[in-house]
Amino acid sequence: MFCGYGGNNPWSTFNVPSNAKDLSLAEANVSEGSIGFYQFANPALLTKTNNLDFGLCYNMMALDRSTQVVSVNFNLPPKAGIGLSAMRSGTSKIQGKDSFNNNTYEIDVYDMLGMISFGVSIHKYASIGINIKASYSNLDNIFENIDAPSYSLFSKGIGVDFGGAINLSNFFMGLKIENIKTSNNWNLNLGDEGNSYEQNVPVIYKIGTHYKASKTLMMYLENDIIHNSSYLLKYSISYNINNYGFQCGFSHDFKKKSKFMLPVFGFYYSGHLWGKQLFDLNYGINLGNVDEGISHIFTWTIIK
């Protein structure tokens, strides 16, 4: 995972970048977003959707982890946009142990997140947006061959994001408040024993900007804050030549007094026909910050 925050966040598996461009820019693009995936960066940016965008992403992570994302964004005249998206985040080949530390069987687990998003322009240069999110996790397979209804572990959650954006000719700013009044509810049914409890998901405040230094060079800066947990500064650049581009980003968490995280990189190709953009192909690579190994992410966006 690239993001510098997690810890007690039960939704930390969803903090993984939703697409290759977001990852290679260190997720410092709350003011710009990525075509086909605007709602993940900032729902207010959905107003940039011209017609219909369809995005697919596969993130092949270290330690047998992976995420898959499907996203559909479409324009809603005269000045609005709607997004429908889903993310699956999971891991496999977890070696189970019994009470004597003997190997038992391998466990596969996953989390699902569904999201409905809406963005609307409220001024020539300003827009706002909202995400409504729901999560589901099911851990039944940890009981191996037990298929009794009295044995189950699952959780459900619901949350809201709010975003705002300002778009001037030479000034761009984005704001996102993530996980407003969000919680995750666990239900543990273990035969004759049962329990349930609620976990609050930390609110994340994001504010960022980007600057067009030239026709080919873009610079990004973003600050993500979790109260008493993280104060993350993110920096990135994007260099574009014709239909090709290179991106690089890194971050530093001042709350944890950590060193700068290893940089992330990405490349992309934008396909055009008769002057019209038809698709984007993006690739990103995360070198890993705690020796967990290298992660690769691939994204394909169709633009109609």
- Does the pLDDT value for residue 132 go beyond 70? yes
pLDDT at 1: 43
Which residues, including other chains, have CB under 8 Å from residue 218's CB and lie 6 or more apart? 210, 211, 212, 237, 238, 239, 240
Answer for the pair 303, 56: CB distance below 8 angstroms, yes or no.
no
* Identity of the amino acid at 272: H
Instruction: Give SS3 for 147.
Output: coil
The DSSP symbol for 62 reads S
Can you name the residues that pair with 159 across neighbouring β-strands? 133
Cα–Cα–Cα angle for 59, 60, 66, rounded to 5 degrees: 75
Q: 243-283, pLDDT tens digit by residue?
A: 999 999 988 887 766 566 778 999 999 998 887 889 999 99
* pTM for this entry: 0.87
Q: Record the tokens describing residue 198, joined without a space.
A: 């609620």
Rg of the chain over Cα atoms, rounded to whole angstroms, equals 20
- The ranges assigned to domains in the chain are 12-303
Cis omega (within 30 of 0) for bond into 202: no
Share above pLDDT 90 across residues of the chain, in percent, rounded to a whole number:
54
pLDDT at 146: 53
CATH topology for the 12-303 domain: Porin (2.40.160)
Which residues, including other chains, have CB under 8 Å from residue 69's CB and lie 6 or more apart? 18, 19, 37, 40, 55, 56, 57, 59, 85, 86, 87, 88
Q: 22-73, pLDDT tens digit by residue?
A: 999 999 999 999 999 999 999 999 999 999 999 999 999 887 788 999 999 9
- Does the pLDDT value for residue 14 go beyond 70? yes
Q: 150-179, pLDDT tens digit by residue?
A: 555 677 889 999 999 999 877 899 999 999
Which residues, including other chains, have CB under 8 Å from residue 223's CB and lie 6 or more apart? 206, 207, 208, 231, 232, 233, 234
**Over residues 211-230, mean pLDDT:** 89
Alpha helices by DSSP H, the chain: 20-24, 38-41
